[in-house]
Amino acid sequence: MLMRTETDTGLARVQRFLDGAAARLRKPSTPQVPLRFGVDLGTATVVIAAVDAQGEPVYWDFISAQVVRDGVVVDFHGAVQAVRQLKASSEAALGMEIEAAATAHPPAVPVSDCRACAFVLQQAGIDCRSLVDEVTAANAILQVKDGAVVDVGGGSTGVGVFRGGELATLSDFAGGGHHLDLILAGALKLPVEAAEVHKREHGAEVMQLLRPGIERVAESVRRQCAGRDPGTVYLAGGALQIPGADAVIARYLGWKVQGYAHAELITPFGIALS
């Protein structure tokens, strides 16, 4: 009889959660209250996510917005407006008021810039109940005890190495999905915004063009792991939602790499759980 390992059951649990979450885009489930909310201020999108009292995905929505760069809020007014819009649409969909939410920041962002994320929520009429780093938020979903949790965002790649369930190291290097967009924009003579859409919709077709950029992300992961195999590398974030990207990283590193469908939802829902 085939024995299932802890990794196998963990993968099934995470993928089940993400598949369920993906189905909740602007289509709320019937939740067990109270709900917990998270707001992810990303480089390309601002996302709001909700989980119920059992930690199950209830609802999410997003707005495309370029209000954050490399984890720093560069358009405070635009960020506030985006969160206000998401708050209003989510309240209408859920039939309840959103009073508080958690938010997150890349690991290497200075404390002053981290607070800006909390101030965005406050100005949008939401109390910031928790401010966490994105890697820790992602691990609220993944629950990695031994391995590296990698959050590949638009502007940077954050890596947290866990040993025995404890966070041993946490870092963040520049370079992420936006750099892949720049590569594609140059190769295909497209505006950067169009390259982002093309990457998401035709990723498999342009993999060879993107491979050097993906390998650059892999090298960033290697450096942040001090060149030592952490056990398994777990990929979160939307920047590498390209068919075969996890295999490229695994071949480059020579380490075991675990990717997920709908990995872009790991951090937003992890923020809600935080």
- Series of mean pLDDT values for 10-residue runs along the chain (274 residues): 46 96 95 91 92 96 88 89 97 96 87 85 97 95 97 92 96 91 94 90 92 97 98 93 94 97 97 96
pLDDT of residue 142: 97
Q: Which residue in the block uniquely carries the two structure tokens 């635009």?
A: 78
Greatest extent of the chain over all pairs of C-alpha atoms, in Å: 59
Strands of 156-163's sheet, edge to edge? 166-174, 156-163, 147-152, 232-236, 256-258
pLDDT of residue 35: 96
* Cβ neighbours for 201, distance < 8 A, ≥ 6 positions apart: none
pTM of the model: 0.93
pLDDT of residue 141: 97
pLDDT of residue 128: 97
Name the residue type at position 43: T
φ and ψ of 164, to 5 deg:
60, 30
